[in-house]
Amino acid sequence: MSGCVFCKIAAGEIPAKIIKKGDGILAFADLNPQAPTHLLIIPTIHIGSLNDAKDPQLLGTLLAFARDLAKEQKLDTRGYRVVVNTNPDGGQTVFHLHLHLLGGRPMEWPPG
């Protein structure tokens, strides 16, 4: 989708620190990290938000990809958080579906 920053990253049109590639999935470093490890996992096709994700298999694949990436980043034993912010009250600012993988420090609950 033209104008979508994450579509542009997926197309290689703007730079990002790519961490892992999968079949229709990409993980890259967040530009403004909120934890020692803060990665974003996206489908390479444009899906605006979790509300727009029609394919439950894709959602499962994204979650498993995040889990595998957490293990590769050696976050699995101590733990990590996977977050999907959705629409304004959820804190979504980029309207291309993405999972945040956060780790490397204890997380607080409840989230802000």
What are the residue numbers of the active site?
98
Our finding on whether 49 is near ligand AMP (CB under 6 A) is no
To Zn ion, the closest distance from the beta carbon of 67 in angstroms equals 23
Closer by beta carbon to ligand AMP, 77 or else 88: 88
- Contacts to Zn ion by CB under 5 A: 1, 4, 6-7, 46, 96
Contacts of 104 by beta carbon, 8 Å cutoff, 6+ apart: 35, 36, 37, 75
- 41: three-class secondary structure by DSSP: strand
Q: What is d(CA 4, CA 54) in angstroms, rounded to the nearest whole number?
A: 19
Our finding on whether 5 is near ligand AMP (CB under 6 A) is yes
Are the beta carbons of 52 and 62 closer than 8 angstroms? no
Instruction: Output phi, psi for 37, to 5 deg.
Output: -115, 120
Our finding on whether 77 is near ligand AMP (CB under 6 A) is no
DSSP 8-state code for residue 69: H
What would the x/- binding string for ligand AMP be over residues 80 to 99, using CB under 6 A? -----x-----xxxx-----
Residues at the interface with ligand AMP (CB under 6 A): 5, 16, 30-32, 40, 85, 91-94
